[in-house]
């Protein structure tokens, strides 16, 4: 299965509470371009890849996305640590508190819960990979928007790390798509 090393891919050491920013970052936890959606999508799609190369890449990136979920969770916890109920209400997190207390719940920045319609599959390896490339670009754009909303270096550093990983994932998916397009052109893929 997996060897779990008990450390994050990038250290999260946020020292300043910021509930408003936490509400925004929530979208990368349970929103349509978030890490949970990406992980689930890639880990589902891997079973329909036509060869081990595609299965391996989707497994690797999907598993890494689960690590990103863990990083976002750590960020949310640290940004909201020791928040009072009044502070949560003022930041627009009162509904979350009413239903879940201070536990994290996958939702977007508007409070809409994670939805399985975020998972895109088409039964076609090239269409799936094109969707994955789009997912990585939407996540990259979201990280850039989040970075525009803060000047806290403790938050900017992990957001920049996560943004860079989206760029790398996009490049790997593009390489895989090009590989399958060539195979299709040569009649090796239906």
Residue 145 burial (CB count, 10 A)? 13
Interhelix angle 125-148/153-185, nearest 10 degrees:
160
Pairwise CA distance, residues 189 & 50, whole Å: 8
Domain 19-185 is in which class? mainly alpha
**Which pTM value belongs to this model?**
0.95
What residue spans of 81-152 are helical by DSSP H? 85-90, 94-100, 125-148
Q: Are 125 and 180 in contact (CB under 8 A)?
A: yes
Domain locations in the chain as residue ranges? 19-185
pLDDT digits (tens, 9 = 90+) for 67-113: 999 999 999 999 999 999 999 999 999 998 999 999 999 999 999 99
């Amino acid at each position: 299965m997996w060897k779990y090393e008990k450390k994050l891919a990038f250290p999260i050491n946020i020292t300043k509470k910021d509930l408003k920013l936490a509400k925004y970052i929530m979208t990368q936890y349970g929103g349509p371009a978030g890490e949970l959606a990406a992980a689930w999508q890639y880990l589902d799609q891997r079973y329909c890849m036509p060869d081990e190369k595609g299965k391996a890449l989707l497994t690797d990136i999907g598993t890494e996305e689960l690590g990103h979920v863990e990083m976002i969770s750590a960020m949310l916890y640290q940004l909201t640590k020791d928040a009072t109920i009044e502070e949560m209400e003022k930041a627009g997190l009162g509904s979350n508190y009413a239903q879940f207390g201070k536990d994290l719940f996958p939702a977007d920045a508007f409070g809409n819960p994670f939805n399985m319609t975020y998972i895109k599959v088409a039964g076609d390896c090239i269409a799936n990979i094109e969707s994955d490339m789009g997912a990585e670009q939407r996540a990259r754009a979201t990280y850039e928007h989040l970075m525009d909303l803060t000047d806290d270096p403790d938050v900017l550093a992990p957001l920049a790390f996560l943004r860079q990983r989206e760029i790398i994932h996009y490049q790997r998916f593009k390489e895989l798509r090009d590989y399958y397009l060539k195979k299709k052109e040569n009649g090796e893929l239906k």
